[in-house]
Amino acid sequence: MRKTGSRGTGLPSLWEKARKLIGPEKGVVHLATAALLNAVWDLWAKQEGKPLWKLLVDMDPRTLLSCIDFRYITDVLTEEEAYEILQKGQVGKKEREGQMLMHGYPAYTTSCAWLGYSDDTLKQLCTEALKDGWTRFKVKVGADLQDDIRRCRLIRNMIGPEKTLMMDANQRWDVPEAVEWMSKLAEFKPLWIEEPTSPDDILGHAAISEALVPLGIGIATGEQCHNRVIFKQLLQAKALQFLQIDSCRLGSVNENLSVLLMAKKFEIPVCPHAGGVGLCELVQHLIIFDFISISASLENRMCEYVNHLHEHFRYPVVIKKASYMPPKDAGYSTEMKEESVKKHQYPHGEVWKKLLAAQEN
C-alpha cells in the first residue's frame, strides 16, 4: 500500500496516523496483516508444491531468519541465538519428520465439556471421545464454582486418573479469585488452567503462576496475545508454563516463528490454540514444523482440536488416534469450499438471507 503523506513536509502521513490510532502491531491492523500474510504463505507453499509445514522444514536457517522481525525482542533472543537454535534443530530432523508422518502430532479435545452442556451430553461426548482414543481433555470452567466441582469430578471419574485434564476459564477471574477458585479445583489434577485472567495482565498471570505451580497446576495462555512482545514479557516474567500461539492473532507465520524460537530458548512447551473455525487447519502446520525443526520434543506438548466447521474447508485436518496427521496437499490448508463461501456471503448468501428474514419476522 502506498503511503499518502507528503515526504519532507514534517506532516505525518495518513497511513502513519491510522497505524498509530488502531495499532501498531495489534488490533484490526495486526489481524488484517495476519490475514494477508497467511494468504501469501499459502500461495508460496502452493508455488513450491508443498504443504506449509514442509516448506518451512526444508528452508535453511538463514532463509527462515530472513522472515522474522527481531525488533523489540533482541533483549531475549538475538538473530544469532535464533540461528544457533535452528542449527541444533538440524540434528535428527529427518527422523522427526518420519515420526510425524507415521504417528502425527498429539492433540487434545475441547469438544466434550463446554459450559452449558448438560451432564448427559457431557457423558455422551466423553464416552465417544474415549472410544475414539482421546487421552487429553479440556473442560471450560469459571461460571459457578460448585458447578465446576461437580462437572470436573464427573469428567475425571469418566476419564480416570491416568488421562490428562486441562481447564480453561476464558479470562473470567481477577487475580485473587483465580488463585482461590483453582485451589478448590486442584483435587482434579489439572495440567493447566488456561487464561485465568485478562490476557493483557502479564504480572497478574505471573502472580497466579507463582501461587498455583506448587499445587501442580501450570498456566497456559497466548491465544489473545497481540504480538511477540507480549509473549516475550510473559516468558520473562515466568508467567506461563504452556505457551499457546494462534495462527490468526499474531502477524502470520513470520511472527509465530519468532515466538516459537523464544519458547525454545525458555524451554516452555508450545500447545497451540485451535478452536475450530479453520484454526486447526492453520496451526497444525506450525506445530509440526516446531517439533521437526525447533523443539525436537513432545514432552507436555499437544495441539488443541475442536470438531467444528471443518466441512467448509477443501483440505480439512486429518485426525488419527487423537493426533494431527501432517497435511499432504500444497499450501496452508486455508482454502474454503466455493459452495460454503457463496452460502455465507453477505447479504445475498443463503445463510444470511435466512437470518435477515427471521429478523424481519
Give the active site residues.
140, 273
| Burial (0-12, 13-18, 19+ Cβ within 10 Å), 19 | middle
Give the Cα separation of 157 and 186 in Å (integer): 15
Q: What phi and psi values does residue 228 have, to the nearest 5 degrees?
A: -65, -25
C-alpha grid cell, residue 62: 538463514
Instruction: Please state whether beta strands 303-305 and 242-243 pair in parallel, antiparallel, or not at all (unpaired).
Output: unpaired
3-state secondary structure of 303: strand
Give the residue carrying C-alpha cell 516474567.
237
Burial string for 223-235 (b: 16+ CB within 10 Å, else e) reads bbbbbbebbbbbb
Closest CA to 205 of 168, 226, 245, 235: 235
**Whether the Cβ atoms of residue 352 and residue 346 lie closer than 8 Å to each other:** yes
Q: What is the Cα–Cα distance from 139 to 171, expressed in whole angstroms?
A: 14
Give how far Cα 57 sits from Cα of 184, 262, 272, 281, 290, Å: 44, 18, 18, 18, 9
